[in-house]
Amino acid sequence: MNEYNFRLSSISVALLLFISACGDSDLSQIEQREIDAAQRAMQTDETDNNSGQTTGTSTSGSSEGSGENGTTTDGTTTDGTTTDAQTDSGSGESTAGTDTTSGATDADSGTDTAGDSNAGETSGFDLSGYELIFSDEFQADSLDFTKWSTAYQWGPDLVINDELQYYVDIQSNPDFGANPFSFDGESLIITATKTPDELLAAANNQPYLSGVLTTANNYTLKYGYIEARIDFPEGTGLWPAFWMLSAAYNGLKPQLFIAEYNGGKPNSIFHNYNYHDANGNLRSPGQWQVTEDGISEGFHTVGVSWEEQELLFYIDGVPRYRVIGENVSQQDMYFIANFAVGVVWAGAPDENTQFPAQTKIDYIRAYRKLATQ
């Protein structure tokens, strides 16, 4: 074996150890994301509508409370979820931590610098033994409404996470006066802009306009490999994300964040998984930050391999973060791709944040494992 092959084999063994090792990590106390409050409001609306009553909760223009009830954890992994949150970043091993003061996690000391930041045209994930079951290549000149809706299920007027954007629902309100979605022949572009004065009232007085896509009413899946190829924007307060929510609001009520991007930390992508314990408290094994030069430049693939009791997150075909345990989602979930502006986690835009700001999506795909003979 020559020196090059020996080094390559050593790297492969080290990577395998990183993926297979899964040490215990304390479940950290976190504040409850307002997504949960929004889903509760949506569920309340559905119940009231079914009984002939109207409360208007989902159009109140503000979130249902702050959703900031900090949960208390016992510091063990007996709830069935642990993480492989150790990596060799050239500065020693570290474990992702949680910032309980902001409702977001701070994994600055747990960065992963492995891998090539130059994404290829297709996934680096080994798709042998998988079949494609969902795909949008965004090469048309309009959205496919058999796949996508342009509003959250709880509607555009309920604000979560103190976000500053109004998601324009071009499907239900095509005459709104602005459209955040455009196409360049190869990708979908979601543009965040400052709200024109004449649209402020229609935009719930939110200072920015942007867009969200969801398959909630059209497509769900359980288990498989899910991937998107995205060009993320730089700028404080910019918060694009590709994630999934449970189709049935019960049980664990899982929230799977395949990739969140904080434009104020332009060389980082964040992975996370949230769920509810038996007492209804929102839990997380910890948000994981991957830091790498060039993440804010050009397209990158972000994906997750989701199997029973395991989530394995990827960037540019390289595995970055692993979550295992009985509390990994076993429910059907749907896709969300959104471009938020501020505030709880990404902060408010500052004088250096440029608008219009754009995030581009080359494709979104999902694969299912073929049945073995």
pLDDT tens-place string over residues 265-297: 999 999 999 999 999 999 999 999 999 998 989
- Residues sharing a CB contact under 8 Å with residue 333, sequence separation 6 or more, in sequence order: 220, 221, 222, 244, 245, 246, 247, 254, 256
List 10's β-bridge partners, or say none. Answer: none
- 294 CB burial (10 A radius; 0-12, 13-18, 19+): middle
Q: What is the CATH number of the domain that holds 335?
A: 2.60.120.200
Q: Please state the domain count of the chain.
A: 1
pTM of the complete model beyond 0.85? no
pLDDT for position 160: 87
Measured distance CA(334)–CA(109) in Å, rounded: 31
Residue 13 maps to a domain:
no
> What range does the domain containing 85 cover?
25-369
Q: Which of 306, 294, 338, 339 is nearest to 119 (CA)?
A: 294
Residue 6 maps to a domain:
no
pLDDT for position 156: 87
Measured distance CA(339)–CA(350) in Å, rounded: 17
Residue 7 maps to a domain:
no
Residue 15 maps to a domain:
no
Residues of the chain with pLDDT under 70: 1-123, 373
Q: Which two tokens stand for residue 262?
A: 């904080």
Name the strand (E) or helix (H) holding 259. strand 255-260
pLDDT for position 87: 34
* Strand pairing class (224-231; 282-283): unpaired
Q: Which two tokens stand for residue 80?
A: 């069935």
**Distances from the Cα of 3 to the Cα of 114, 115, 116, angstroms:** 21, 21, 21
Is residue 251 within 8 Å of residue 232, measured between CB atoms?
no
pLDDT for position 83: 46
Measured distance CA(192)–CA(210) in Å, rounded: 4
Q: What is the pLDDT of residues 211-241, one digit of tens each?
A: 999 999 899 999 999 999 999 999 999 999 9
Is residue 167 within 8 Å of residue 155, measured between CB atoms?
no
- Please, what's the b/e burial string for 158-183 (b: 16 or more CB within 10 A of its CB; e: otherwise)? bbbbebbbbbbbbeeeeebebebbee
Residue 341 maps to a domain:
yes
pLDDT for position 91: 22
Tally of CB atoms within 10 A around 20: 9
Residue 3 maps to a domain:
no
Residue 237 maps to a domain:
yes
Helix (H, G, I), strand (E, B) or coil at 116: coil
Name the strand (E) or helix (H) holding 48. helix 34-50
Residue 52 maps to a domain:
yes
List 242's β-bridge partners, or say none. Answer: 259, 337
- Residues sharing a CB contact under 8 Å with residue 121, sequence separation 6 or more, in sequence order: none
